[in-house]
Chain A
Amino acid sequence: MGSYVPNTLQDQEEMLRSIGKSRMEELFETIPEKVRLNRELRLPSGLSEMEVTNKVRKIAEKNYVFKTIFRGAGAYRHYIPSIVKQITSKEEFVTAYTPYQAEISQGVLQSIFEFQTMICELTGMDVANASVYDGATAAAEAILMCAERKRRKAVVSETVHPQVIKTIKTYCNSLDIEVVTAPGRNGKTDLPSLENLVDDTTACVLIQQPNYYGQLEDGEEIGAITGGCGAKYIMSCNPISLGILKTPAEYGADIAVGEGQPLGIPLSFGGPYLGFMASKEKMMRKLPGRIVGETKDGKGRRAFVLTLQAREQHIRREKASSNICSNQALCAMTAAVYLDAMGRKGLTQAATLSMSKAHYLANRLCELNGFKLVYPGEFFNEFVTTCPKDVDTISEALEQRGILGGYPLSGENQGHILWCATEVNTREEIDTLIAILKEVAE
Chain B
Amino acid sequence: MNQELFFTKTHEWVQFLDETTVRVGLTDYAQNKLGDLVFVNLPEEGDDVTAGETFADVESVKAVSDVYCPVTGMVGRVNEELLDHPELINSDPMEAWFAEIGEVSDKVELLTEDEYDELLSKGV
Contact = CB atoms under 8 A, between A and B. Distances in A.
A15 interface: no
Interface in B55-88: 59-64
B107 to A, nearest CB: 25
A316 B61 CA distance: 12
B4 to A, nearest CB: 33
Contacts of B64: 310, 315-316, 319
B54 to A, nearest CB: 9
Contacts of B63: 310, 315
Contacts of A319: 64
A98 interface: no
A308 B61 CA distance: 7
B83 to A, nearest CB: 10
A282 B52 CA distance: 31
Main secondary structure of the interface of B (DSSP, over half): strand
A315 B39 contact: no
Interface in B23-79: 38-39, 59-64
B60 to A, nearest CB: 7
A374 to B, nearest CB: 48
Nearest to B63: A315
Contacts of B59: 310
A309 B62 contact: yes
Contacts of A309: 61-62
A55 interface: no
Nearest to B41: A285
A310 B62 CA distance: 6
Nearest to B54: A319
A10 B62 CA distance: 44
Interface in A285-329: 285, 308-310, 315-316, 319
A285 B38 CA distance: 12
Nearest to B47: A149
B10 to A, nearest CB: 17
Interface string A247-260: 00000000000000
Nearest to A311: B59
Q: Which of B59, B60, B62 has the most CB of A within 10 A?
A: B59
B12 to A, nearest CB: 19
Nearest to A305: B61
A310 B64 CA distance: 6
A309 B62 CA distance: 7
B50 to A, nearest CB: 16
A316 B59 CA distance: 10
A134 B64 CA distance: 29
Contacts of A315: 62-64
B42 to A, nearest CB: 12
Q: Which of A309, A310, A315 has the most CB of B within 10 A?
A: A310
Contacts of A308: 39
Contacts of B39: 285, 308, 310
A315 B39 CA distance: 14
Nearest to B59: A310
Interface of A: 285, 308-310, 315-316, 319
Given A310-B39, A315-B64, A319-B64, 14 more contacts: A285-B39, A308-B39, A309-B61, A309-B62, A310-B38, A310-B59, A310-B60, A310-B61, A310-B62, A310-B63, A310-B64, A315-B62, A315-B63, A316-B64
Which 9 A-B pairs have CB atoms at the shortest separation, nearest pair first? A310-B59, A310-B64, A316-B64, A315-B64, A315-B63, A310-B39, A315-B62, A309-B62, A309-B61
